[in-house]
């Protein structure tokens, strides 16, 4: 009497085993996929909240209680909020399309241009520092005994806040450039922490009312903020790409 198993039984066994393993994998992935969707929803809510807040600030144009200094060369004190806009980019992640980053740009303006007169030997260094801080200026040489260099600096600060999520680690890096001074710093937030109270603290920081937002999360990286130093070792920022105005 033959002991051979009926044809096809091995394939059926393999099919059943693979279905079981596949089901376990799908069950394990569901919590991660749901957390990814939840982070994306939180970021979208943050985008809409900041977009509305920015529109109101652009109408009110409040005075910002910050002092922006470029060494001892230029000081822009208590500028007004002028305008701002937000943009975002999406990317594919698994079976979903999620927010890759959010960028919030805004402009602060002072009352009148700042005129600097510097000795010829200091012209190059002054120009370098102003450029490093993204300050706009005009230059001319004053014809006198010393032939001083004259810089007419536009009292305008361009600032940026950038949100970059890490969906696997469930964190969001928030990089702030020129928010309260000419420097850049990155904080690492748990994704669930970027709710309305944190966004309110961010706006209060922008307005110079409180720095609570800076204490809500640790600096990103190991032991130090991610900063963009210029050649003199000072912290400055640079806009690295063109963004779309709304």
- What's 153-178 look like in SS3? ECCEEEEEEEEEEECCCCEEEEEEEC
Higher pLDDT, 28 or 183: 183
| 39 closest CA partner among 96, 105, 104 | 96
pLDDT value at residue 243: 36
pLDDT value at residue 171: 95
Q: Is the pLDDT of residue 240 over 70?
A: no
Compute the distance between CA of residue 206 and CA of residue 200 in angstroms, rounded to an integer.
10
**Tell me: the pLDDT tens digits for 73-97?**
899 999 999 999 999 999 998 778 9
pLDDT value at residue 225: 40
**Tell me: the pLDDT tens digits for 123-132?**
999 999 898 8
Strands 156-166 and 96-109: antiparallel
pLDDT value at residue 226: 43
pLDDT value at residue 101: 98
Higher pLDDT, 129 or 164: 164
Compute the distance between CA of residue 144 and CA of residue 122 in angstroms, rounded to an integer.
16
Q: Judge contact between 79 and 64, C-beta under 8 A.
A: yes
Average pLDDT, the chain: 84
Q: What is the mean pLDDT of residues 195-220?
A: 95
66, 82, 83, 215 from 211: Cα distances, Å: 11, 21, 21, 7
Among 7-16, 55-64, 104-113, 222-231, which stretch is predicted with the lowest mean pLDDT? Answer: 222-231
Q: What is the mean pLDDT of residues 57-77?
A: 94
CB environment 111-121: b (16+ within 10 A), e (fewer): eeebebebeee
Q: What is the mean pLDDT of residues 229-241?
A: 33
Give, for 184, the enclosing helix (H) or strand (E): strand 184-190
pLDDT value at residue 148: 86
Q: What is the mean pLDDT of residues 229-240?
A: 34
Q: Judge contact between 227 and 185, C-beta under 8 A.
A: yes
pLDDT value at residue 232: 33
pLDDT value at residue 4: 53
pLDDT value at residue 43: 97
36, 42, 167 from 164: Cα distances, Å: 13, 12, 9
Distance from the first to the final alpha carbon of the chain: 82
Say what percent of the chain tops pLDDT 70: 83
Q: Is the pLDDT of residue 235 over 50?
A: no
pLDDT value at residue 133: 87
């Amino acid at each position: 009497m033959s002991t051979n198993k009926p044809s096809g039984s091995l394939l059926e066994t393999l099919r059943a085993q693979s279905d079981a393993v596949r089901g376990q994998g799908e069950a394990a992935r569901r919590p991660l996929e749901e957390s990814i969707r939840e982070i994306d929803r939180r970021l979208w809510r943050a985008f809409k909240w900041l977009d509305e807040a920015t529109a109101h600030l652009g109408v009110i144009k409040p005075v910002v209680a910050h002092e922006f200094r470029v060494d001892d060369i230029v000081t822009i004190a208590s500028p007004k909020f002028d305008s701002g806009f937000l943009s975002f980019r999406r990317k594919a992640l698994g079976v979903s399309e999620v927010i890759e980053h959010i960028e919030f740009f805004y402009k602060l303006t002072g009352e009148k241009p700042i005129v600097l007169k510097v000795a010829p030997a200091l012209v190059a260094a002054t120009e370098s520092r102003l450029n490093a801080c993204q300050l706009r200026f005009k230059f001319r040489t004053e014809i006198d005994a010393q032939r001083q260099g004259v810089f007419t600096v536009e009292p305008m600060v361009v600032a940026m806040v950038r949100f970059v999520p890490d969906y696997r680690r469930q964190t969001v890096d928030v990089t702030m450039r020129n928010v309260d001074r000419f420097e850049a710093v990155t904080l690492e937030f748990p994704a669930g922490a970027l709710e309305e109270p944190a966004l309110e603290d961010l706006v209060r920081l922008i307005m110079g009312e409180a720095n609570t937002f800076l204490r809500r999360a640790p600096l990103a990286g190991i032991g130090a903020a991610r900063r963009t130093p210029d050649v003199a070792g000072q912290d400055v920022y640079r806009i690295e790409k063109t963004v779309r105005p709304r």
